[in-house]
Amino acid sequence: MAGLSPVTDPRAFLTDLFQRAVAAADPMRVVAAHLPQRPKGRLVVIGAGKASARMAEAVEAHFGPCKGLVITRYGYARPCKGIEIVEAAHPVPDAAGLAATRRLLDLVAGLGPDDLVIALISGGGSALLCAPADGLTLDDKMAVNRALLASGAPIGQMNVVRKHLSRVKGGQLAAACHPARLLTLLISDVPGDDPGQIASGPTVGETGTPADARAILDRFGIDVPPAVRVALAGPSSVVAPDDQRLTGAETRIIAAPSQSLAVAAEVAAAAGCEVRMLGDALEGEARELGAAQARYALSLQAQVAASGRPLLLLSGGECTVTRRGDGVGGPNAEFVLAAALTLDGSPGLHVLACDTDGVDGAAEVAGAFADPATLTEARRLGLDPEDSLARNDAHTFFANVEGQIVTGPTLTNVNDFRAILILPSR
């Protein structure tokens, strides 16, 4: 598989690898192989997530116009002939998502055992599927989401809380589809590809408890509205894995981070790189992981110089950012800035990190790139990279040094893509 040279234009090379990884998870490539025959009864297509509209487009390319409704992020809609596409807010829910979720639940009510529901679920569905638990309002849900996103809690911990504050997550959407058969097609954006964590598992049974959710809020010092504490003090409506309403439910992961990273690795190897995979499910503070991977890259420079062959470090997963300042940032840009500070202009080292959905944090920027000249350019412009990192202002920093990677909506989501390229010294 031919690709760009890593030596002549490192930024173009790493950007190409990222784009190849994204393309490998394009729903138009991966959905059709998992679609069954049309049922005897009705076929209803539902879904939520940043990739859901593109997934719906792929379903109609296979079946023709279908009845259904999917909810995607603003700007991520695709043309469908029968399936209605509704856009709503992410990462904090809004009234559009609330109304669309209500209509989606109405759509699956009253189905029978000869009917088939195809649920198209991808990352972002936690915010887009919005149905507050009894006693909670949309404002409560918005406040919880903002607090969770600023807390630095891992995505799996966030989702435990979200499930117990919802009437649709934690298997409840599957229960609403019963007694119809249910096929859920998942594009994974979570470390470990746990179906129960993707979009907070709306069609997957849940074993966690409200007590688990309360413990997470306490562990991370997350301040929530009083109504949330009241809701978590009572019983939850999540559905247990052995619930009879889930017996007709099948779940398939059709695209995952490991598959996209493997494609990037293949392209890099064909271009002459040695490739080391550091893992597809790495979590933790973005700045800490960026610094750690940069230190590892520095330790390999002598080996690369001796071999004369470029070395590429690849990883995926989902980093978090604990808000410390008032800047504009995201985990991928923060990873790159922390790495650049650790590398400190060391020759031959180039870093790129992007979110495969095209949105790093809440900014319309996929991520960032840094090379040995980045810090020199920043200081020439009067920028303080250490201060930018301290204030969580990595996106502003990279905008000023022209290091941003902007893709627009990618229409898929298989989590973060991180690459460090080590070139032999000349």
Note whether 420 and 12 are within 8 A (CB): no
**Coil/strand/helix, residue 2:** coil
- Picking from 411, 380, 387, 424, the residue whose alpha carbon sits closest to that of residue 187 is 411
Which residues make beta-bridge pairs with 351? 370, 420
- Which structure tokens are listed for 364? 């319309």
pLDDT at position 3, please?
65
- Cα 53 to Cα 106, 198, 256: the distances in Å are 19, 16, 18
Query: CB of 254 within 8 A of CB of 290?
Result: no
The pLDDT score that the predictor gives to residue 1 is: 45
Asked if 85 contacts 53 with a C-beta cutoff of 8 angstroms, the reply is: yes
Q: Which residue numbers in the chain have pLDDT < 70?
A: 1-3, 426
Q: Which two tokens stand for residue 328?
A: 């504009």
Angle at CA of residue 360, ends 310 and 223, nearest 5°: 130
Q: How many CB atoms lie within 10 A of CB 72?
A: 32
* Boundaries of every domain in the chain: 10-23+258-422, 27-255
CA separation for the pair 129, 120 (Å, rounded): 12
Which of 1, 24, 2, 5 minimizes the C-alpha distance to 312?
Answer: 5
The CATH class for the domain spanning 10-23+258-422 reads alpha beta
Q: What are the backbone angles phi and psi of residue 143, rounded to the nearest 5°?
A: -65, -40
How far apart, in whole angstroms, are the C-alpha atoms of residue 337 and residue 404?
11
Residue of 93, 98, 158 lying closest to 127 (CA atoms)? 93
Residue 323 is predicted with a pLDDT of 87
pLDDT for the residue 4: 81
Given this structure, which CATH class describes domain 27-255?
A: alpha beta
CA atoms within 13 A on the CB side of 225: 16
Instruction: Give the sheet arrangement for strand 43-48, strand by strand.
Output: 83-88, 67-73, 43-48, 116-122, 181-187, 249-255
Residue 120, strand partner residues: 47, 185
Q: What is the pLDDT of residue 269?
A: 96
pLDDT computed for residue 152 by the predictor: 87
**Adjacent-strand bridge partners of 352:** 369, 419
**Separation between Cα atoms, residue 157 and residue 303, nearest integer Å:** 39
Q: Is 174 exposed, middle or buried (0-12, 13-18, 19+ CB in 10 A)?
A: buried
pTM score, two decimals?
A: 0.93
Q: What is the reported pLDDT for 361?
A: 86
